[in-house]
């Protein structure tokens, strides 16, 4: 089973996904890892979403578990681009929409212009 979008954003949780969905207008697949990834789960994601052939973006929280996940994903997906939220907000889910839209558009992801103030 493959997905049509050429872009994939990997996040930690459902609240992160919901926050991103609020601001983007592009058809982007958003994958929730729900924390750390085991080898089997990662392989399943790699195959299901064809991650080796997609534009992959990693957007995780700026806390201990997010940094650990980012390092793991960086090893497994060296072609992935990293998107960072300011550590002041710590979590993707609590990052203001305007800030999130700005970092997403900087990575060529279409966002609703009302958030680009």
Which of the four pLDDT bands, split at 50, 70 and 90, describes residue 2? very low
List all residues 6 or more positions away from 61 whose beta carbon is below 8 Å from its beta carbon. Answer: 12, 16, 85, 90, 91, 92
Q: What does the mean pLDDT of the chain come to?
A: 93
pTM comes to: 0.93
Q: What is the mean pLDDT of residues 106-110?
A: 96
Which of the four pLDDT bands, split at 50, 70 and 90, describes residue 117? confident
List all residues 6 or more positions away from 89 whose beta carbon is below 8 Å from its beta carbon. Answer: 62, 95, 96, 99
Q: Taking the domains of the chain in order of start, what are their residue ranges?
A: 7-108
Could you give the CA distance from residue 102 to residue 79 in angstroms, rounded to a whole number?
22
Q: Does domain 7-108 have CATH number 3.40.1360.10?
A: yes
Each residue's pLDDT tens digit, 41-96: 999 999 999 999 999 999 999 999 999 999 999 999 999 999 999 889 989 999 99
């Amino acid at each position: 089973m493959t997905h049509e979008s050429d872009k994939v954003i990997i996040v930690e949780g459902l609240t992160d996904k919901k926050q991103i969905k609020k601001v983007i207008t592009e058809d982007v697949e958003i994958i929730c890892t729900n924390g750390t990834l085991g080898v089997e789960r990662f392989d399943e994601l790699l195959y299901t979403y064809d991650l080796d052939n997609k534009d992959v973006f990693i957007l995780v929280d700026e806390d201990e578990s997010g940094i650990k996940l980012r390092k793991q994903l960086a090893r497994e997906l060296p072609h992935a681009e990293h998107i960072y939220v300011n550590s002041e907000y710590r979590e993707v889910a609590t990052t203001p929409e305007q800030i999130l839209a700005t970092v997403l558009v900087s990575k060529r992801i279409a966002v609703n212009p009302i958030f680009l103030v």
